[in-house]
Amino acid sequence: MDYEAVIGLETHVQLKTLSKMWCGCPNVFGSDPNTNVCPVCLGLPGVLPVANEEAMRLTVLTGLLLNCEIPAYAKFDRKNYFYPDSAKNYQVTQYDRPSTQNGWLDFEFGGAPDGLTRVRITRAHLEEDVGKSTHFDRHSGVDFNRAGVPLLEIVSEPDLTSSGMAYDYLNALKDVLMRAGVSDCDMEKGMVRCDVNVSVRPVGTTPLGAKIEIKNMNSFSGVRRALDYEIPRQIEAVRRGEKLRQETRRWDDETGITEPMRSKEDAHDYRYFPEPDLMPFEPTAAWIGEVRTRVPELPLQRKLRLMRDFNLPAGDAQVLTDHLELGRFFEAAATGYKNPKAIANWVINALAARLAETHTEIAAARITPAAVRELVELVDSGRISGKIAQEVFIAVFDQGVSPTSVVESRGLAQVSDTGTIETLADQVIAAHPGPAADFRAGKVAALNFLKGQLMKLSKGQANPAVAGEVLERKLRA
């Protein structure tokens, strides 16, 4: 029997706010331990939390990005547990009334633009991060700088079917959140963390198998590797006749295996109850409308639009999406021009290369979109050759002058005038009697050599098509 994997992800993302969720402590990474703390985020008795409105906006913004409903009523709950990373002995979260629910994320699985993959989003709810424990030789320490940092939990439906698909989903999610400014998603700083739920079932059946949750991956490729280990493990176990049971397993990145951590029997009972110190969250339509103005064009939409509106190949559209500034430059140059592909080539190749060589930010570059377009027009109209255009480009980039002025001041215009080219052709044929004779004897390739010599003699300015015609006519005469 063939088995398939069923995967659902719970992704935690730290929100990009200036201050923490319930207090004014800064939300920054990398400070000395326990320097960004106060009575509120240390959970001292008698304190009251005040919700960070920007965190609420970013939560709702995420809901909008993920096509979620934004319920008119949401609330906070206490998830009770006893562990040193939470001085309060509970974590504030949204248990049964989250701020966003029932959405989806479309993405390209395996980079294939034909047909998008859709993963349904169960919910994205707001909670708070907890402290970070560090274990030393003979004692442990807790750093509460992270405690109370706003944390969004994005729960997917079990719609993913492979490790590669989970990996692409996570990257797409990250792209969306970063583009909208919801989170910096820096994995190394622990800004994104992901728990994986996976089960297997016979292909073609619907009931879900026992859910196995895997924790402790610290990168997206860790998630992929954990699944690449876990899925075959489960399939082999089921094939052996073993009955899998719900459990939590721990991924070991060094050894590359998952190990049992706890079974359903010793699962926590969190005794959720409504947070008495916080009001329910009831966003008005006007408030949501304001958040909606922050929804940007998302990477996938942008890529598809560039492909559609400018008739670009997927690869070009991807580069111009990944490099937002280059993409904007391209759009400014190409809008309304008949040959956007040529402009894309200049932006992606010459412009990107020159920016890198000169360590220039695109915003500081002297070359304008209009100049690149003018350059392409000069080539497309036959006034300069592609080769000369390279030289003109560098001058335009370095000096901020117009391409036409460079062509005129340096006398670079392509020579299509037959008289001039005839003179050059006579010189080339006289200087290379061997190849000329070869051509006359039927060796067609010799023409290319002669044409190359003519181009060289003209310093690249002869119109190559005219040069070829004139040479051939003379040789056949």
Is residue 422 packed enough to be buried (19+ CB in 10 Å), middle (13-18) or exposed (0-12)? Answer: middle
Q: What is the largest CA-CA distance in the chain?
A: 104
- In the complex, the smallest distance separating the C-beta of residue 82 from ligand ADP, rounded to whole angstroms, is 20
Question: For 222, left (φ over 0), alpha (ψ -120 to 50), or beta?
Answer: alpha
- In the complex, the smallest distance separating the C-beta of residue 2 from ligand ADP, rounded to whole angstroms, is 17
- In the complex, the smallest distance separating the C-beta of residue 206 from Zn ion, rounded to whole angstroms, is 47
Binding partner of residue 25 among ligand ADP, Zn ion, none, CB under 5 to 8 Å per kind?
Zn ion
Token output for 288 = 């949501």
- In the complex, the smallest distance separating the C-beta of residue 124 from ligand ADP, rounded to whole angstroms, is 12
Binding partner of residue 184 among Zn ion, ligand ADP, none, CB under 5 to 8 Å per kind?
none
- In the complex, the smallest distance separating the C-beta of residue 6 from ligand ADP, rounded to whole angstroms, is 4
- In the complex, the smallest distance separating the C-beta of residue 277 from ligand ADP, rounded to whole angstroms, is 25
Token output for 20 = 């923490």
Which part of the chain contacts Zn ion (CB under 5 A), choosing from 17-25, 82-90, 166-174, 444-452? Answer: 17-25
Binding partner of residue 9 among Zn ion, ligand ADP, none, CB under 5 to 8 Å per kind?
ligand ADP
Half-sphere exposure of residue 45: CA atoms within 13 angstroms, side-chain side: 0
x-marked contacts with Zn ion along 19-58 as a string, rule CB under 5 A: ----x-x------------x-xx-----------------
Q: Tokens 């959720």 appear where? A: 272
The set of residues, in sequence order, having a beta carbon less than 8 Å from that of 320 and lying 6+ positions away, is 306, 312, 326, 327, 330, 344, 347, 348
Report which of 180, 199, 247, 191 is spatially closest to residue 220, judged by C-alpha positions. Answer: 191
Using CB under 6 A, list all residues that contact ligand ADP.
6-10, 155-158, 197-199, 208-209, 211
Q: With respect to Zn ion, which residue has the nearer C-beta, 22 or 310?
A: 22
Binding partner of residue 38 among ligand ADP, Zn ion, none, CB under 5 to 8 Å per kind?
Zn ion
Angle, helices 314-322/299-310, rounded to nearest 10 degrees:
130
Token output for 226 = 């954990």
**Phi, psi angles (nearest 5°) of residue 117:** -100, 135
Token output for 468 = 């070829």
> Are 88 and 47 within 8 A, CB to CB?
no
| Sign, CA torsion 322/326/329/331 | negative
Token output for 51 = 């919700």
- Is 454 a binding residue for Zn ion by CB under 5 A? The answer is no
Binding partner of residue 158 among ligand ADP, Zn ion, none, CB under 5 to 8 Å per kind?
ligand ADP
Binding partner of residue 87 among Zn ion, ligand ADP, none, CB under 5 to 8 Å per kind?
none
Binding partner of residue 41 among ligand ADP, Zn ion, none, CB under 5 to 8 Å per kind?
Zn ion
Q: With respect to ligand ADP, which residue has the nearer C-beta, 11 or 183?
A: 11
Q: With respect to ligand ADP, which residue has the nearer C-beta, 208 or 295?
A: 208
- Cβ-proximal residue to ligand ADP, closest one: 8
Contacting residues toward Zn ion, per CB under 5 A: 23, 25, 38, 40-41
